[in-house]
Chains A and B, each alone.
Chain A
Amino acid sequence: MNQPVQIQDRSALGELASAIAVELRWMIADTAVMTWRNLIRYRRSPELFVFSTVSPVMFIFLFNYVFGGAIPTGDLNYIDFLMPGILVQTTLFSATQTGVGLAEDLQKGMVDRYRSLPMARSAVLGGRVAAETMVSLFVACLMLAVGYIIGMRFHGGFWPGFALPFMVAGFAFGFSWAAALVGASVRNAEGAGSLMFFLVFPLTFLSSAFVPVETMPGWLQPFTSVNPVTYAVDLGRSLSQGGPILTNAWPTLLWTLAMALIIGPVAVWRYRRV
């Protein structure tokens, strides 16, 4: 791939195409291996698993039962209002693991080993992102099940409701690349963790995730209404409870693609330069 390829005739072009195909195949295979390694981590480290499953469920209970009664949400039941918001919040928090894990690997010198292998460099990041996206999907489904048990109902039809966890995981996928960039830049697990916390905390709380934006003070509303999390949460709410899907779908898709296609390559570039 690195050698200059002169495109003189069709056969050279064909060679290039097949070279790209080989690279791509390996990239996918390497990413799959890295994904597997990162998923194993969840199985082997029970604290991580408990942290990523028990605490979201605790959040559902806390907001629904403790705060829910005091938060007016118009026509919606609070649990119906809450679930899309808490899904987005939780999956974003779990996506920060991408950056924390990457920073940890860099710190421990684990990455040096990978870099000495004939594998695709982007696979280290890609594997992390893919693993966290899968975890996000799993956690979203688990939380929906818990939500359903304590009274959440879909009012927006089957297919939109079905799409909800995938949409949430997709948004988390985009965000994982941002987390990967933080991890590749900070290279210290604790530092990456706290930086990410200070990023995700305002993003998720200063949004429509837990209370209607209209109830916030006027000076906060400009931020909350341009906050991508608000779009994603509102889209999730439209999917599960009915409402205009397209108006929120475009900004959400745009943000997701921007994070994956712009921040993603920057993250890979930073990682290569380590």
Chain B
Amino acid sequence: MLQRSDSRFREAIGSIIYEFRWLVADTSMMAWRNLMHYRRNPETLLSTIAGPVMFLFLFNYVFGGAIGAGRDFNYIDYLVPGVLVQNNLFTVMNTGIGIAQDLQKGFVDRYRSLPMARSAVLGGRVCATTLVSFASVYWTLAIAMLFGMRFHGELLPVLLMPLVVAAFCFAFAWVSALVGVTVRNAETASAATFFVTIPLTFLSSTFVPVETMPGWLQAFAEVNPVTHVVNLCRNMAQGGPLESYAWVTAFWIAVMIVGIGTLATWRYRRIS
């Protein structure tokens, strides 16, 4: 008896490993496809590349003098983590737009008739946009250092900071994916994600300290997950307490991946 259930257990584990291997293979295949799109259509990367340059210039040089006046930090040091998070959230917004496009074109029918893992279609998009945004973190940091930004934090947190940004973007890409499978129309998806991202990124500590905002706005900015991840990255880069921001950020990342990711996959499966 015991032996039998043991072998059944092993079989179950084996089939899980087998499934998981295919999930990874299918997802990387789909991610490859989406990365090829960027390669063939490099102009889609324009906003990812030009965006941080524009924002860093505008906020550092044009507004920075006024915003940074009389504060105990160098404004560019304050600004960079915010621009990193903001620009990359805009980049991963492409996830949902791409998914909506595939659904619109009837492309998904082909995928659904294949013996591949269904979640790979979404997962591939999510991974591709996350990879792009991860690369853009380093690009943005290079520009920022050219503009005079310097790290003052400890080595390990500084090195880990790009990973935090990427993890948050990965999680947020699932939100975008959910929007994509729900609206199923590229233009609507783009408008809908825009209206989610603009308030999230601007009504946060991205550009100015939350204390300078009116009280009612502070209330929102303080619970805004973007504020927490930006503050975490800022303190990783410049030194400062990490723990409280880290917990909240981890919580939001988990919620978005597990909760919203599952919801998005479920909605995708139910499409007919």
Contact = CB atoms under 8 A, between A and B. Distances in A.
Contact of A217 (B54, B61, B208, B213): B61
Contact of B213 (A65, A72, A215, A220): A65
Contact of A215 (B66, B202, B207, B214): B66
Interface string B151-163: 0000000000000
A65 B62 contact: no
A246 interface: no
Contacts, number: 53
A49 B62 CA distance: 30
A136 to B, nearest CB: 24
A113 B218 CA distance: 56
Interface string A209-250: 011100111001000000000000000000000000000000
B61 A215 contact: no
B67 interface: yes
Given A66-B202, A67-B208, A70-B209, A212 B66 contact: yes
Closest A-B pairs by Cβ, 5 of them: A69-B212, A215-B65, A211-B66, A70-B208, A215-B66
B58 interface: yes
Contacts of B126: none
A27 B151 CA distance: 64
A216 B69 CA distance: 11
Interface string A64-90: 011101111100000000000000000
Contacts of B202: 62, 66
B217 A211 contact: no
Contact of A71 (B54, B67, B209, B214): B67
Given A205-B58, A216-B61, A217-B61, A66 B217 contact: yes
B66 A205 contact: no
A210 B63 contact: yes
A206 interface: yes
B63 A65 contact: no
Interface of A: 58, 62, 65-67, 69-73, 201, 205-206, 210-212, 215-217, 220
Contacts of B54: 201
B203 interface: yes
16 contacts: A58-B198, A65-B213, A66-B202, A66-B213, A66-B217, A67-B63, A67-B67, A67-B208, A71-B63, A72-B69, A201-B54, A205-B62, A206-B62, A211-B62, A211-B63, A220-B62
B212 A70 contact: yes
A58 B199 CA distance: 10
Contacts of B208: 66-67, 69-70
A181 B205 CA distance: 41
B252 to A, nearest CB: 21
Contacts of A67: 63, 67, 207-208
